[in-house]
Amino acid sequence: MTNDIVIQASPTVPVEEQCVEIVERKGKGHPDTICDAVAERISIELSRAYQKAFGRILHHNIDKGMLVAGQVDCRLGGGRVKEPMRLVIGDRASAGVGRKAVPVAEIAVGAARGWFTQHLRHVDPDRHVRYQVELKAGSPELGSIFEPRRGPFVANDTSAAVGYAPLTPTERLVLDVERFLNGPLFKSEFPGTGEDIKVMAFRLDHNLSLTVAMPLLAGFVRSEARYFEMKAQILRMIRTYVAGQPHRFKRVQVALNALDRRGQGMDGMYLSLLGTSAEQGDSGQVGRGNRVCGVIALNRPMSGEAAAGKNPVSHVGKIYNVLAHELALRIHRQVPGVKEATVWLGSTIGRRIDRPAIATAQVSLAPGVPLHRVQAEARGIIQEGLAGLKPFCDALALGKYPVC
């Protein structure tokens, strides 16, 4: 375990107390989120297949995926798919050991199809998506990391990650609004809404501006008048939901589909045939979506690594990204006087993952709480987390920690 775990006072004002805050969340139907979620599902299914066949997880990183937008004929009352979306599944995955192999491409496509079926109601994974698997064998040097051994794996990259806690009221509201709009209760009441939801929040002091983008499904909209009638109903529902949340904003302004213009026909309405802009308007890529905490918070430090799709036993770009958030959350919850915590973890390739090259926490403290009072407990939480990396990585492999 690393000997130098540094606990220091945060050099910045807690985000909740800052004058300006910007937060975004891309919903599960957004092309970038689709790429992240599918890449992660493939990693989970591959890990399961490796464990069953070889008793251990082999080398794989499914973190170079792209969703190429298709083409549709979308019009009032419905439409048709002219050209399917194309999902490119890329990077590295071991086929097996010796003469024993697992069907990597088949597993990858099956996992992707399963995700589309489960999460996007109007996307047929066989008719509306084409699959291009570009998973090649990894380098022998990196592959050797995954040979049977006692103790933790070594890092397969020199990388750094950061996590923080708690979420601010702005971050929490953005997360909750998207989950509400993509949740079963809302979809049962408004089945004519798509899953490609984006929520953007701008906070200035105690005033919040919330902009929601959410397509209405063309099959449910037969006229411009009907579109704006549905939009008004949905906007009232969002405002009611926001007003019922436990925030302390003085004023919250909510806008829905801000580009809409009455009298412009199809050019003035946000319509979708399948519920995602990947049907025609926008492509997606792994790593461009939400961070592992579920939002894209511009006031926060961020890692440059995409956690989704990376292997869960040696790639610190995944392990440390998720672990840093978990450790920050534990410090905030368990150490009295800590208002906000940020944890940084950095690795050196070839070094055991439970012995990071750097591990540090920055803490914002309540008035009157001295730093020395919290240092030992915060340091102990990080030590405990690093000591428990084996079960933590096992849980990562099972998908028990969301990454987008």
The pLDDT score that the predictor gives to residue 141 is 47
| Element of type H or E holding 251 | strand 251-256
| Strand 85-93 relative to strand 129-136, pairing | parallel
Cβ count within 10 A of residue 398? 13
Q: How many CA atoms lie within 13 A of 200 on its CB side?
A: 9
The answer to whether 134 touches 88, Cβ cutoff 8 Å, is yes
The C-alpha atoms of residue 173 and residue 178 are separated, in whole angstroms, by 9
| Element of type H or E holding 83 | strand 78-83
The pLDDT score that the predictor gives to residue 154 is 87
Cα 359 to Cα 25, 42, 118, 391, distances in angstroms: 28, 30, 38, 20
Distance of CA 287 to the CA centre of its chain: 9
Cα 355 to Cα 324, 345, 352, 385, 388, distances in angstroms: 14, 10, 5, 11, 12
Domain made up of 16-26+168-276: CATH architecture: 2-Layer Sandwich (3.30)
Note down pLDDT in tens along the chain; length 404 residues.
Answer: 555 899 999 999 999 999 999 999 999 999 999 999 999 999 999 999 999 999 999 999 999 999 999 999 999 999 999 999 999 999 999 999 888 999 999 999 999 999 999 999 999 999 999 999 999 986 544 445 556 655 668 888 899 999 999 999 999 999 999 999 999 999 999 999 999 999 999 999 999 999 999 999 999 999 999 999 999 999 999 999 999 998 889 999 999 999 999 999 999 999 999 999 999 989 999 999 999 999 999 999 998 889 999 999 989 999 999 999 999 999 999 999 999 999 999 999 989 999 999 999 999 999 999 999 999 999 999 999 999 999 999 999 999 999 99
Residue 232, SS3? helix
Cα 124 to Cα 39, 120, 276, distances in angstroms: 18, 8, 12
Phi and psi at 92, nearest 5°, equal -130, 145
The C-alpha atoms of residue 144 and residue 138 are separated, in whole angstroms, by 10
Cα 169 to Cα 16, 75, 122, 341, distances in angstroms: 7, 39, 33, 15
Q: Give strand pairing partners of 110.
A: none
Inter-helix orientation angle 31-54/389-397, to 10°: 110
Cβ count within 10 A of residue 400? 10
pTM as predicted: 0.94
Residue ranges of domains in the chain: 16-26+168-276
Q: How many CA atoms lie within 13 A of 321 on its CB side?
A: 29
| Element of type H or E holding 61 | strand 60-61
| Element of type H or E holding 334 | helix 316-334
The C-alpha atoms of residue 143 and residue 235 are separated, in whole angstroms, by 52
The pLDDT score that the predictor gives to residue 183 is 97
